[in-house]
């Protein structure tokens, strides 16, 4: 196993998905990568007051500031890329902004004026973040974006999550110890990582979490057989399947269908019995509501079915 490092420098970051972009790093299955990423906006310097504009990696940002693409040698469409999150350590500052976009949700919330900003001091050792207004929260760091480009030419937005390849999943359960399984979309996988979140609730309802720089250690591997065909994950507390769609019902059905299939595989059940048990032990959660596509994840806790 080889350990690689990736730093947030010009030429090693991007703000779009593009299958034809040359990789900034090539690794073998089983290798580990230490990824140092900027916050989603790509700030090169920390804010000193809430909402202060500081220099960024990209003058005209099109999407999240991401590290990559990382080529995983031998990965082919039809494989599954296993991204094991060894650790995720936030930087010492972060920010949150509410009401930054004119959309239906913000109008329903009455957020039609200037954005509301919080500036956070993050103490990774203590596991806390404290805002400029005195709120202190426990942190649970993770990356909002882990994904691959669509297998279509051109540049693609990093904002919506995709059933093929993942991307802006924004699932707060993908903390240290979790493994995310991504169906490979393009040869070499071309993995992108970034959008560090020190803390976030299910839904990410204002459109931002505690956005922060992050140092993430991941081990990458290729899986040729998986229990379900779509995005799924294992975490220290359970198993997760995902659904993404502009229709919340469709996203829910995707996540639930995959979880029922996984339960059949785990417990040798017929589909009706698996669905009946799912109604008793599976939690459906809204992953995020703000990225142009609804995200839903189904969670089966370890030990829920003895």
Residues 165 and 252 in one domain: no
Q: Show pLDDT as tens, one digit a residue, over the chain (306 residues).
A: 799 999 999 999 999 999 999 999 999 999 999 999 999 999 999 999 999 999 999 988 899 999 999 999 999 998 999 999 999 999 999 999 998 888 888 888 888 878 899 999 999 999 999 999 999 999 999 999 999 999 999 999 999 999 989 999 999 999 999 999 999 999 999 999 999 999 999 999 998 999 999 999 999 999 988 889 899 999 999 999 999 999 999 999 999 999 999 999 999 999 999 999 999 999 999 999 888 799 999 999 999 998
- Whole-angstrom CA distances from 101 to 94, 111, 150, 151, 199 are 19, 9, 26, 30, 21
Residues 162 and 131 in one domain: yes
Given the DSSP bridges, would you call strands 13-14 and 32-37 parallel, antiparallel or unpaired? unpaired
What is the C-alpha separation between 280 and 136, in angstroms, rounded? Answer: 35
Q: Give the CATH number of the domain where residue 271 resides.
A: 3.10.28.20
Q: Give the CATH number of the domain where residue 104 resides.
A: 2.60.120.580
Choosing from 223, 241, 273, the residue where a domain stops is 223
Choosing from 223, 252, 275, the residue where a domain stops is 223
Work out the angle at residue 255's Cα, subtended by the Cα atoms of residues 254 and 260, and round it to the nearest 5 degrees.
100
Residues 143 and 247 in one domain: no
Residues 163 and 38 in one domain: yes
Residues 189 and 249 in one domain: no
Report pLDDT for 100.
81
Choosing from 184, 200, 223, the residue where a domain stops is 223
Q: Is residue 268 part of a domain?
A: yes
Report pLDDT for 292.
78
Number of domains in the chain: 2
Q: Is residue 306 part of a domain?
A: no
Report pLDDT for 298.
98
Q: Is residue 81 part of a domain?
A: yes
Report pLDDT for 208.
95
Q: Which domain holds residue 239?
A: 232-301
């Amino acid at each position: 196993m080889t350990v690689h490092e990736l730093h947030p420098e010009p030429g090693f970051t991007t703000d779009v998905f593009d299958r034809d972009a040359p990789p900034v790093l090539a690794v073998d299955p089983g290798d580990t990568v230490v990824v140092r990423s900027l916050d989603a906006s790509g700030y090169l310097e920390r804010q000193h007051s809430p909402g202060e504009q500081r220099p960024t990696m990209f003058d005209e940002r099109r999407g999240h500031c991401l590290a990559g693409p990382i080529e995983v040698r031998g990965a082919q469409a039809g494989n599954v890329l296993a991204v094991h999150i060894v650790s995720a350590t936030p930087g010492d500052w972060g920010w949150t902004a509410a009401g930054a976009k004119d959309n239906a949700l913000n109008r329903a919330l009455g957020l039609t004026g200037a954005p509301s900003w919080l500036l956070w001091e993050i103490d990774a050792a203590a596991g806390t973040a404290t805002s400029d207004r005195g709120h202190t929260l426990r942190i649970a760091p993770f990356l909002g974006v882990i994904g691959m480009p669509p297998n279509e030419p051109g540049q693609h937005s990093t904002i919506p999550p995709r059933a093929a390849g993942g991307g802006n999943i924004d699932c707060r359960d993908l903390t240290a110890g979790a493994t995310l399984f991504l169906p490979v979309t393009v040869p070499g996988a071309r993995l992108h990582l970034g959008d560090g979140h020190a803390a976030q609730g299910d839904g990410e309802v204002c459109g931002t979490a505690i956005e922060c720089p992050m140092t993430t250690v991941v081990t990458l591997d290729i899986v040729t057989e998986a229990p379900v065909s779509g995005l799924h994950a294992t975490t220290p507390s359970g198993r997760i399947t995902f659904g993404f769609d502009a229709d919340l019902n469709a996203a829910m059905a995707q996540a639930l269908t995959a979880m029922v299939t996984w339960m059949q595989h785990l417990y040798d059940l017929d589909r009706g019995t698996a669905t009946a048990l799912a109604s008793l032990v599976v939690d459906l959660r809204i992953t995020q509501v703000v990225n142009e596509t609804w995200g839903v994840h189904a969670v089966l806790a370890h030990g829920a079915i003895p």
